[in-house]
Amino acid sequence: MRTRRSPLARNAQAGQGTFGHMVQIALIAILTFAIASPAALAQDNVLATAASEDASTSITPNAWITATDAVNIRACASADCEIVTTADLGDPVTVLGEPENGFLPVTVDGQQGYAYALFVTDSVEDTWFTHGEAGCKRVAFIFNIGIGYTPSQTVIDTLLGEDVAATMFPMGGWALDHPDYLRQIASSFPIGTHGDQSISLTAATDEQIRADLTTSLTNIQTVTGSAPILWATPYAADTDPRVRRITAELGLVPVGWTVAAADYDETATAESVYQRVIAGVDDGAIVEFHLDGPATESSTALALPRIIATLREQGYTFVTVPEMANPCQAI
């Protein structure tokens, strides 16, 4: 394995072993890959030094690996194919054509193969993960954290008691103020990032966005002792292609949602949360809740057992965001 090129690289959930499944997923319909011309992308400093002297690799790289330690490069566009090499986080790659079965044909260090498209990005790509692959009746609950009210223990107890998977996205500044609570949930749920502070991302400069995200990762790791998973939700759903591009360039997958429970202020009720979620869920949906809103205990905490029961009756299983990124065939 080559030396990591980014401070965001981490050993857990890498593109081999158990996390290899994540690299092998087939959700290309969710993403639009607008590969820019090699001449334009060669200006990016991530890629500028990557060309090889060998004629077989002299094509200017036009993309790089994001959001995972390492991606398996396979001999064909299938998770069952032989691994010919790996590409690490931040490695430059050359995309050779259109995606096939969710995999992109690429050249890495002179070797050709196929990489799962979700983890291949270019400097203008609008990466945006909002829905999983349909066909196996899955739903993913995410909880954004950082509104500032007392975080709900009832919600956590319900998730654990009902054995429901979920993914938590705390703010980094919030994490420093609630270390014991965050360590508790980190022992049972994957932890991403919801940014660090309550700032309008679309109004912020590129430098402010990068600083907010990288600071959040540092603060969360300071509390939990482990690097967060490389997935990020935008504060207050405030995002646009620029914000998502910067997020992806940092090695994070921007995460959106199919259904918002609208449980973030005092007007939320148990009935409104229940009705909104059940009406919006479909196969592969990502559902956004909050853990620390002013009405969490009287809305989400009361609605959640009923939501879980109804979705189970409808045949749904509950998965994390990284698990939702797996194709049905990997289950």
Q: Give the distance, in angstroms, between the CA of residue 88 and the centroid of all CA atoms in the same chain.
A: 17
Cβ–Cβ contacts within 10 Å for residue 36, how many? 16
First-to-final CA distance of the chain:
28
Q: Are 259 and 276 in contact (CB under 8 A)?
A: yes
pTM of this prediction?
0.77
Helix or strand (DSSP H, E) at 139: strand 138-145
| Dist CA 139 CA 93 (whole Å) | 33
d(CA 237, CA 59): 38
Residue 41 has pLDDT above 50, yes or no: no
Q: Which amino acid is at 254?
A: P
Query: What is the four-CA torsion angle of 88, 89, 94, 96, rounded to 10 degrees?
Result: 90
Buried residues in 130-141 as b, exposed as e (16+ CB within 10 A): ebbbeebebbbb
Which domains occur in the chain, in start order?
A: 17-121 (2.30.30.40), 138-330 (3.20.20.370)
Q: What is the mean pLDDT of the chain?
A: 83
pLDDT at 321: 96
What was the pLDDT predicted at 118?
A: 80
Give 57-70 pLDDT, tens digit per residue: 346 888 888 877 78
Task: Report helix angle 241-249 to 206-224, nearest 10.
Answer: 50
SS3 readout for 75-88: CCCCCCCCEEEEEE
Tell how many helices (H) and how many strands (E) occur in the chain: 10, 14
The string of DSSP letters for 89-117 reads: TT-EEEE-S--BTTEEEEEETTEEEEEEG
Q: How confident is the model at residue 124 (pLDDT cuts 50, 70, 90)?
A: low
Report, as an integer, the average pLDDT of 127-145: 94
> Which string of DSSP letters, residue by residue, matches 167-229?
EEEE-HHHHHH-HHHHHHHHTTS-B-B--SS---GGGS-HHHHHHHHHHHHHHHHHHHSSPPP
Top pLDDT among 206 and 116 is at 206
Q: Give the model's confidence band at 204: pLDDT under 50 very low, under 70 low, under 90 confident, else very high.
A: very high
Supply the pLDDT for residue 60. 81
**20 has pLDDT over 70:** no
Q: pLDDT of 286-319, one tens digit each?
A: 999 999 999 999 999 999 999 999 999 999 999 9
pLDDT of residue 37 exceeding 50, the answer is no
